Structure 1
Amino acid sequence: MSSDPWGRVDETGTVYVRTADGEQVVGSWAAGSPEEALTYFERKYEGLVVEIGLLEKRVQTTDLSAKDAQTAIGHLREQVDAHHAVGDLDALRGRLDKLVASVEERREERKQQRAKQSDEARKSKEDLVTEAEQLAQSDQWRAAGERLRALVDTWKGLPRLDRKSDDELWHRFSHARSAFSKRRKAHFAQLDAQREEARRTKERLVAEAESLSGSTDWGPTAARYRELMTQWKSAGRAQREHEDDLWNRFRGAQDVFFAARSSVFAERDAEQSENLKLKEELAEEAEKILPVTDLKTSRAAFRSINERWEAIGHVPRDARAKVEGRMHAVERAIQEAEEAEWRRTNPEARARAEGLTGQLQAAVDKLRAQIDQARAQGNSSKADKLERELEGRQALLDQALKGLQEFGG
């Protein structure tokens, strides 16, 4: 008979294994020595040890499902319970029991993890729905549209919930996207209508601008172009494919008109600048007439200068007042000389001036006599009053005498 700590072979060749419940028959061994029999069944035990070790590692380090793990444990337990190996079978049962507990623990962890992931997925999807419903009211068409597409991609990456919850949230999410798409479609339809109306309006403006481009009625046409520009700005934008072409035609028509006007105005400005130079020379010639010493000669000279002046034409507007003022000053000087000559040679005016002077002189003499009389009588108050009246009459007399001097006497 042969034995070791965990088993023995009796004289009949029966192999036994020692367990906590006593010896259990492993099998019979007819060929070879008892030591070889024990060695054979010990190797079977070592094989079980290796298999259990591998399963323990898979449970701890891989995502082996609980179902598969339990199947593997059951298979190994059947082998251990069959007692076809020599070794510490109770220790293997203990390891298998721990492995069962470990699998259950992993199952519970995964269950909790799945529940947590589900809660997180629900929260994430609810957040996506809330944001989508807010975006559905947005007028930021491009940004909101891009964001909604990004939310769809995010949704697809999230785990599914239970069917009812997932369908309800998806319905809200989809409804928000549809509402946004409907509003955006309506907005752009309205925008297209407005742009089409702007295109028709601008085509009319272009047609009128092009019809005016050859006009030489400079002032009214320039004013009309300004009105057309105001209407253009208030018309809004046409479709992109039409806007630039319409603007180029509109601007081109204006450019043709204003270029022609500028050319004409440049020629006119050059002509008026030359006219100004000629009139300044005439004004200088007219100023040499002053002072007027010979009225007849001065009048004839100014008439000759003025005839040449009238034949010259327009000067620049900003210089007109100054150069014309110089001529008017000479003209006024000649007119004043004529008026003085007329007063000096007019017999009726001279007679009236002499009569007025005589009357004022008599009044002054009378007042002086009255003043002398009042003072002689000691009436100072009356004398003072008459003195004030005398001052006024004397001033009138002095003025009349000055006017009489203009008549040469």
Structure 2
Amino acid sequence: MSSDPWGRVDETGTVYVRTAEGEQVVGSWQAGSPDEALAYFKRKYEGLVVEIDLLERRVRTTDLSAKDAETAIGHIREQVDAHHAVGDLDALRVRLDKLTQTVAERREQRKEAKAKQAEEARKAKEELVAEAEKLAQSEQWRAAGERLRALVDTWKGLPRLDRKSDDELWHRFSHARSAFSKRRKAHFAALDNQREEARRRKEKLVAEAEALSSSKDWGPTSARYRDLMQEWKAAGRAQREHEDELWQRFRGAQDVFFQARGEVFAERDAEQRENLTRKEELAAEAEKLLPVGDLKAARAAFRAVNERWDAIGHVPRDAKAKIEGRMHAVERAIQEAEEAEWRRTNPEARARAAGLTGQLQDAVDKLRGQLEQARAAGNTAKAQKLERELEGRQALLDQALKGLEEFGG
């Protein structure tokens, strides 16, 4: 007979384990000595301890599911309850009970986290839907279209909700995108129709202008050309690929007529020289608008000058390019000021510039911190590498700050 604090073997070879409920039969041992019997069943106990240690570690440090954890706990508990080991089985039951409670708590935590994630996803998708529905009414076709595409990418990155809620929100989201696409398509179709109508009208004007180019009825024909010019301006722009060609033909026809008129009426050279003097005065008046300060006032003043300019007749041919070039230079300067003002006040471009500047500033600050650490640690090679990176990022930051200044800060 052999005994241990947690078990014993009687004279018949029956092995017992001591528990809080009394002795329990572990099994029968006939193949060797009682000490060997106790050692065998104590090793089985140690094996159970190892299994519980491992399971506790997996529950604590991995994403083992509650279901798998409970299955593993049940398997070990069956072995403990079968009393086929010698050791403190009651302590193992306490550990298994505690582990069961831990798994239950983690299940509840994961349930709460999942519910929170679902609620956050719902809120995020509702916000996406609201923004998409607002964008559906926008006429900023390019910007709104790009934003809607970005919203789709954001939507794809969010978790799915329950099927009914997800389908309802997606239906609204998709409907908003379809509505915007339909409106945009209709807008550009109408624009194409307008440009096509402008092309047809201008082709008729060109045909008439070309027919009049050989006329010798100077007064009425000149008046008709002025009317044709007004009709040309009122017709709107044709498609880009047609507009320049039609304009060249239209102006070419007029040039043919007025050149012939000039050649026949040489005596009118004096009038043209006077026209040149007046246009030079107007050009000088227009040039005083530069550099552009008050854009609105400059635009209005130039328009007034241009109206008086249009009312003046032809100038000598050899002076035409130069005098018109002066006016065109002022017009281009005002147009460039308008474009600069638009770029400066464009909130999307400013936001992109500000975002890039912020990112570069963060990168520079981070590199400076790393550089100081490397220097403090005496790591010369790393410090030199960080210095080169810092120089590159600082140059990009300086360039981005200069670009941001164009937006007014």
TM bucket, shorter chain: 0.5 to 0.7
Q: CA RMSD in A?
A: 2.9
The answer for the alignment partner of 2:104 in structure 1 is 104
| Residues in 2 aligned to 1:121 and 1:264: alpha-carbon distance in whole angstroms | 82
Which 5+ residue runs of structure 2 have no aligned equivalent?
274-315, 317-409
Instruction: Find the aligned partners of 1:141 and 1:161 in 2 and give their Cα distance.
Output: 31
Quote the offset at 1:160 in angstroms. 2.3
1:45-194 aligned at under 5 Å gives the runs: 45-194=45-194
Query: How do 1:295-306 and structure 2 match up within 5 A?
Result: none
Larger mean CA deviation between 210-219 and 129-138 belongs to 210-219
User: Identity across aligned pairs (percent)?
Assistant: 84
Following superposition, the deviation at residue 247 of structure 1 comes to 3.0
For the residue of structure 2 that corresponds to 1:194, the secondary structure is helix
Partner of 2:287: none
The residue type equivalent to 1:170 in the other structure is W
TM-score w.r.t. the length of structure 1 is 0.60
Normalising by structure 2, we get a TM-score of: 0.60
Distance in 1, Cα, partners of 2:260 & 2:133: 60
Per-residue deviation, 1:19: 1.5
Shift of 1:26: 1.4
Query: By how many angstroms is 1:217 displaced?
Result: 6.1
**Aligned letter for 2:139?**
D
| Secondary structure of the structure 2 residue equivalent to 1:17 | strand
Query: Is residue 27 of structure 2 the alignment partner of residue 27 of structure 1?
Result: yes
- Give the distance between the partners of 1:233 and 1:33, measured in 2 at CA: 117
Q: Deviations over 1:142-194 (max 9, x none)?
A: 22222222222222222222233223322322332232223223222222221
Residue in 1 aligned with 2:389? Answer: none
State how far apart, in whole Å, the 2-side matches of 1:13 and 1:264 are.
Answer: 142
What is the CA distance between 1:267 and its match in structure 2? 10
Return the alpha-carbon distance in structure 1 between the equivalents of residues 90 and 5 of structure 2.
13
Mark the CA change 1:25 to 1:237 in structure 2 (over 3 Å): closer, same or farther: same
| Residue-pair matches, total | 273
Q: Cα–Cα, structure 1 residues 256 and 11, in superposed 2: closer, same or farther, change >3 Å?
A: farther
Write out aligned runs for 1:29-44 (5 A). Answer: 29-44=29-44
Cα pair distance change 1:187/1:34, threshold 3 Å: same
2:120 and 2:92 map into 1 onto residues whose CA distance is 41
CA deviations on 1:282-333 (whole Å, 9 max, x unpaired) are xxxxxxxxxxxxxxxxxxxxxxxxxxxxxxxxxx9xxxxxxxxxxxxxxxxx
Q: Where do 1:167-246 residues align within 5 Å?
A: 167-214=167-214, 221=221, 223-246=223-246
Rg (Cα) greater in structure: 1
Structure 1, gaps ≥5 residues long: 274-315, 317-409
Structure 1 residues 247-266: aligned runs within 5 Å? 247-256=247-256
